[in-house]
Structure 1
Amino acid sequence: MDLPIIDTHIHIWDLKKLTYPWLKNMQPIVNQTYLMSDYDKAIGCQKVESMVFVQCECKPEQFQEELQWVQNIADVDKRLQGIIPWAPLHTGNAVEPILQGFKKDPRIKGVRQIIQFEEDPDFCLKPDFIRGVQLLGQYGLHFEITIDPSHFKAVMKLIEKCPDTRFILDHIGNPNIDKQELHPWKELIKNFADSGPHYCKFSNFLGNANLKNWKINDLKPFSEVVIESFGPKRLIWGSDWPPLERAATWQTWLQVAETLTKDLNENDKSLVFRENAIQFYGLNN
């Protein structure tokens, strides 16, 4: 891509340092150490101005170690301008000292605690979790929403109870692109977009498609919905690398994303691939 871009969703992990239980069930191409040097190999000659690291689901008791490790890397690699750690938001007021600590590092922009894999469909409506998300807003941090379509209704109620917290939806809400389940995701995503000034991450299309046999036409109905629902001013591109490697290379996904957004003018493309990231994450580009 000729435009300078920002990657708002990267993961790195060192299997010698921390434990990531979920990786044991993943394909070998993902279940291995990935560092910034590997990211640089993945992007090739593409100019990536800056990146946002998103927590990688290490053991919960290791989340502070993960954060410190990434902070040390970001001290050296100045492109790593945003950090989204995990935090035990479900502990309610007990999480406040942790959030106070986060505010000491301006690179920490928000928190992700994945809702998608919780057995209780109303997990995010528990009073303590709601309180944890409310506290994010008080400390100028946003919440990264990672769900599938079954969680939208509960998340909408969560958002209503947290008017001072900003939200961004990861991976367009993880619809089942493989089975082309456009509904009810389409209606849910439109309602979410209309409910407030929330952003949506243009990412993980391929991870939700047929990993071995995805086609660009499988993705288009879903990209059309999010572009129509959020408009170019509230969409932010991300790679979701290295889980992306299950389906395609980093460079292939960028090319696919370019194709899916080809009807946007150059200014709007710049919003999706760069400007919105600077605005939402408060990056120093």
Structure 2
Amino acid sequence: MIDTHVHFWNFDPVRDSWINEEMMAIRKDFSPKNLLRVYNDLQITGCIAVQANQSEDENHFLLRLAEQNEVIKGIVGWVDLLNPNLDERLSYWSNFKSIKGWRHILQAENSEFILNEKFIAGVNLLKKYNYTYDLLCYHNQLPDIIKMVDQIPDQPFVLDHCGKPDVKSQDLNAWAANIKILASNPNVSCKVSGLLAEADWKNWTEKELFNCFDVVFEHFGYERIMYGSDWPVMLISRPYQDWFNLVNKYTERFSENERKSIFGDNAKTFYKL
């Protein structure tokens, strides 16, 4: 089994200012060693390390971790997609086979950025090097994401955290309609990850989360869904095992082969592990 979405960091209160006082559980360092026991217990054999800091230094940090920890099977790094020398930078990074794709924190950007011609051209260049692209956005940004991906045919995309629906309010209609449209693009997959951060951290219910699962599984199908945890961010709500057990329980309705796809095979195909 592969966990397609984890982060590692040496906590820096200035750089990591998004980790506020309400998130005391994650205001500290997190390394692969912190995951090994729970992974062994759950028989998870590898993970994808995803950028948390928007700098090329982050790529070197994750590459060093991958060299030292075989549990890291791939890296989603960061590169400036607006850089006039982007082709040169991608050519450089292509020497590091652990880097499978890229991500920009689009949830912090506006429409003008997401639909910027130069940004779209930057994402379009990723195909030249067989890179994937992780889409990180809030539910209200999905219309712009749909417009963006429609302009970049044949690029493999994956939607992080199901597009961050408003789990807490359960106001899911507009999000569900946009998920249906986005999933109609065969180049887009979806990570079942990160939903605990969008829920009431202490008082969410299984039904609230399963309502979201229902939508993404209906439209993406088991063929384009990958399991992810969003560890350690999800620790603001529950221990790792609670999230895993939740996804495991929901997917009991699927066949053994379908579950193998969701928990590992789709990730291996998408990220070329």
Question: Normalising by the residue count of structure 1, what TM-score does the alignment of the two structures yield?
Answer: 0.91
Contact 1:74 1:80 (8 Å CA) reproduced: yes
SS of 1:157's equivalent in the other structure is helix
Kindly report the root-mean-square deviation, in angstroms, between the aligned alpha carbons of the 2 structures: 1.7
| Paired position in structure 1 for 2:82 | 90
1:70 maps to amino acid: L
User: Which 4+ residue blocks in structure 1 deviate beyond 4 angstroms?
Assistant: none
Task: Quote the Cα distance in structure 2 between the aligned partners of 1:89 and 1:19.
Answer: 21
Over residues 58-112 of structure 1, what are the superposed CA-to-partner deviations in whole Å (9 max), with x where a residue is unaligned? xx4xx22221122112112122111011111133x33222211121111111100
Contact 2:155 2:187 (8 Å CA) reproduced: no
Matched, 1:79 2:38: no
Over residues 20-75 of structure 1, what are the superposed CA-to-partner deviations in whole Å (9 max), with x where a residue is unaligned? 23224551111111111112244452222111000012xx4xx2222112211211
| Paired position in structure 2 for 1:235 | 225
Map 1:251-266 onto structure 2 (within 5 A).
251-266=241-256
1:88 maps to amino acid: D
| Per-residue deviation, 1:16 | 6.1
Question: Normalising by the residue count of structure 2, what TM-score does the alignment of the two structures yield?
Answer: 0.95
| Per-residue deviation, 1:236 | 0.2
| Paired position in structure 2 for 1:199 | 189
Matched, 1:134 2:130: no
Matched, 1:217 2:217: no
SS of 2:29's equivalent in the other structure is coil
2:79 maps to amino acid: A
Task: Quote the Cα distance in structure 2 between the aligned partners of 1:138 and 1:213.
Answer: 45
**1:65 equivalent among 41, 54, 57:** 57
1:84 maps to amino acid: V
Query: Comparing 267-276 with 148-157, which one deviates more in the overlay?
Result: 148-157
**2:30 equivalent among 18, 34, 38:** 34
Task: Quote the Cα distance in structure 2 between the aligned partners of 1:15 and 1:244.
Answer: 16
Call closer, same or farther: CA 1:26–1:138 in 2, change over 3 Å. farther
Task: Quote the Cα distance in structure 2 between the aligned partners of 1:25 and 1:188.
Answer: 33
Task: Quote the Cα distance in structure 1 between the aligned partners of 2:74 and 2:85.
Answer: 24
Over residues 194-214 of structure 1, what are the superposed CA-to-partner deviations in whole Å (9 max), with x where a residue is unaligned? 122311001112111110101
Contact 1:145 1:168 (8 Å CA) reproduced: yes
| Paired position in structure 2 for 1:109 | 100
2:45 maps to amino acid: E
Q: Which segments of 5 or more consecutive residues in structure 1 lack a partner in the other structure?
A: none
